[in-house]
Chain A
């Protein structure tokens, strides 16, 4: 059953209260972020329907928005999504090599997930970190001034973290 915890429901109500009466649809994008975090890193149709019910809007109003924005995943992703910026300024500082290295190391193409379900490679457009390039987004935070060695180390750390979590 898809349902936020009581604690999350409080958060939902707090977010909805930021918008004027009758304009609660404004809370849609923030709620989709909450839902994606809570329900496995992507937005399955029943999850979107649940969000629609919270805002008292039609499911289609949620689908059309969720599919517009790149941060919402419309299919399952790995436990760790490596979002490496590939836009011009990052390219000038070697983002192509970082992306190629990750592809080779993990044996996946852009947009794919490793067989163990740990990593997804998602090339991204400019993330507002151009001065600290090359860089990637990993969950809530950025990893900046990347080198091949740093990427190797990061992947090892994530593997270790996943192994202890299991």
Chain B
């Protein structure tokens, strides 16, 4: 069942008139007849969890928002989308801007935000025009501005471009950046819900989270909660990339198996040139990489499903995370050491430099991985890498430290033999890749049933 992308194929759906004719803004109409607290209640009942990566329950986050007398509150939408492998928010904003703006209006009303901001990564330079047009159209139709539809509620939405920095996806760095500063994360507490943008109570939510609010109001929180699997309610956008026949953005049911997602023609259509699956990072570059055999099945032998609980089954020993839904697939020709080195370079480049374990540790990890990849590594380097990542994790101001440590830890945990092979065969490692070893398992389904 599609909730978010249902109308994506309709010609001209980017424009207000077409969107409205196809049932658009009926969710806002319904919401404006409810009280703000009733909306928060519906979102709580829906079980919606933040789609930015951490999966925190949205209704609960909203209910934490402080409401001191006379102090403005803000809704800030996180459209920084910079986690490698993730490109779903871009799809929503480019093709369904009004679905997103509907969610912004309802959420602003529910939270009492008269001025809401969309912070979008600077590189998505053509998207602010699309959003600003949608906002202007919505305003023209009376869904934004002063005294919206006679409710007495005023609301303006502004789009701000970032300047190119992954760290600004972290909510407190994003707030700093919106204030016109360097993107250095703040020490928490205080949390944004109490002191956020300009020290005012602030809610930061991901684009996909906000976009889900319209459908939740339309169908009701209880109905939304019936979709999905257990605590993974509703639907999720997955951005699939790497070695796949049909990479792209898909809206999935949380009961879908990982195997079907990769191999069926309805989704990614399998791996090009009949190659075998070697490994996958299913939730954006920060989550642990898994070899094919662990990816497709839980420890009890059941098929692993595309939801929060199933993907994390087994903890970090044998599981991973749904994260942002950036699904990265590596085929049998890919080198795990090289891929991990590339990610280590990314985190080193993106560290804001405030905490020494992250600033220095990410640099050391990159250097060591580069040595191993280019045939200059020693056996002790593998243990040293393990040691460095362990010392970063949990010892930093923001979770970027963990995000940098986990990919390295998981690569060593599951692919240690590939690292050792690089050390033992430095020359051969320059001419060919290690290949599959024992990581893969023959797949059991051929195509979609």
In the bound assembly, the distance between CA atoms of A125 and B344 in angstroms comes to: 11
Could you tell me if A125 and B87 are in contact, using CB atoms closer than 8 angstroms? no
Contact size range, B: 35 or more
Contact of A126 among B177, B248, B346 (CB under 8 A): B346
* A92-B242, A93-B243, A125-B350 known; A68 vs B84 contact (CB < 8 Å): no
Any chain B CB within 8 A of the CB of A78?
no
Could you tell me if B125 and A140 are in contact, using CB atoms closer than 8 angstroms? yes
Any chain B CB within 8 A of the CB of A12?
no
**Complex interface: chain B residues within 8 A of A120 (CB):** none
Could you tell me if B334 and A92 are in contact, using CB atoms closer than 8 angstroms? yes
> 8 Å CB contacts to A: which residues of B105-142?
115, 121-126
Interface centre among B164, B182, B334 (most CB of A within 10 A): B164
> 8 Å CB contacts to A: which residues of B337-396?
338-339, 342-343, 345-346, 349-350, 352
Could you tell me if A87 and B158 are in contact, using CB atoms closer than 8 angstroms? no
Contact of A88 among B115, B156, B183, B339 (CB under 8 A): B339
Any chain A CB within 8 A of the CB of B253?
no
Any chain A CB within 8 A of the CB of B180?
yes
Any chain B CB within 8 A of the CB of A133?
yes
* A23-B179, A65-B180 known; A130 vs B239 contact (CB < 8 Å): yes
Contact of B122 among A23, A29, A86, A87 (CB under 8 A): A29
CB distance from B103 to the nearest CB of A (A): 20
Interface centre among B178, B242, B339 (most CB of A within 10 A): B242
Contact of B162 among A23, A61, A69, A125 (CB under 8 A): A69
> 8 Å CB contacts to B: which residues of A1-57?
18, 20, 23, 25-30, 32-33, 55, 57
CB distance from B271 to the nearest CB of A (A): 11
Could you tell me if B72 and A20 are in contact, using CB atoms closer than 8 angstroms? yes
* A20-B72, A27-B180, A28-B180 known; A126 vs B164 contact (CB < 8 Å): no
In the bound assembly, the distance between CA atoms of A139 and B122 in angstroms comes to: 11
Could you tell me if B328 and A20 are in contact, using CB atoms closer than 8 angstroms? no
Could you tell me if A71 and B326 are in contact, using CB atoms closer than 8 angstroms? no
**Complex interface: chain A residues within 8 A of B178 (CB):** 26
Interface centre among A68, A69, A93 (most CB of B within 10 A): A68
**Complex interface: chain A residues within 8 A of B183 (CB):** 68-69
**Complex interface: chain A residues within 8 A of B12 (CB):** none
Could you tell me if B123 and A137 are in contact, using CB atoms closer than 8 angstroms? yes
Could you tell me if B328 and A29 are in contact, using CB atoms closer than 8 angstroms? no
Any chain A CB within 8 A of the CB of B90?
yes
In the bound assembly, the distance between CA atoms of A124 and B198 in angstroms comes to: 31
Could you tell me if B122 and A33 are in contact, using CB atoms closer than 8 angstroms? yes
**Complex interface: chain A residues within 8 A of B165 (CB):** 68-70
- Name the residue of chain B whose CB is nearest to the CB of A140: B125
Could you tell me if A29 and B242 are in contact, using CB atoms closer than 8 angstroms? no
- Name the residue of chain B whose CB is nearest to the CB of A71: B164
Could you tell me if A33 and B342 are in contact, using CB atoms closer than 8 angstroms? no
> 8 Å CB contacts to B: which residues of A62-98?
64-65, 68-72, 86-89, 91-93
In the bound assembly, the distance between CA atoms of A139 and B249 in angstroms comes to: 24
Contact of A30 among B86, B121, B161, B330 (CB under 8 A): B161
Could you tell me if A128 and B90 are in contact, using CB atoms closer than 8 angstroms? yes
Contact of B123 among A64, A87, A128 (CB under 8 A): A128
Any chain A CB within 8 A of the CB of B181?
yes
Extra contacts besides A33-B163, A71-B164 (10): CB < 8 Å? A25-B180, A26-B180, A29-B162, A29-B177, A61-B180, A68-B352, A69-B183, A72-B163, A125-B166, A126-B84
Show the binding face of B for A, using Cβ within 8 Å. Answer: 72, 81-87, 89-90, 115, 121-126, 156, 158, 160-166, 177-183, 198, 239-243, 247-249, 285, 326, 328-330, 334, 338-339, 342-343, 345-346, 349-350, 352
**What are 5 A-B interface contacts by the 8 Å CB criterion?**
A87-B345, A88-B346, A89-B242, A131-B240, A140-B125
Show the binding face of A for B, using Cβ within 8 Å. Answer: 18, 20, 23, 25-30, 32-33, 55, 57, 61, 64-65, 68-72, 86-89, 91-93, 124-133, 137, 139-141
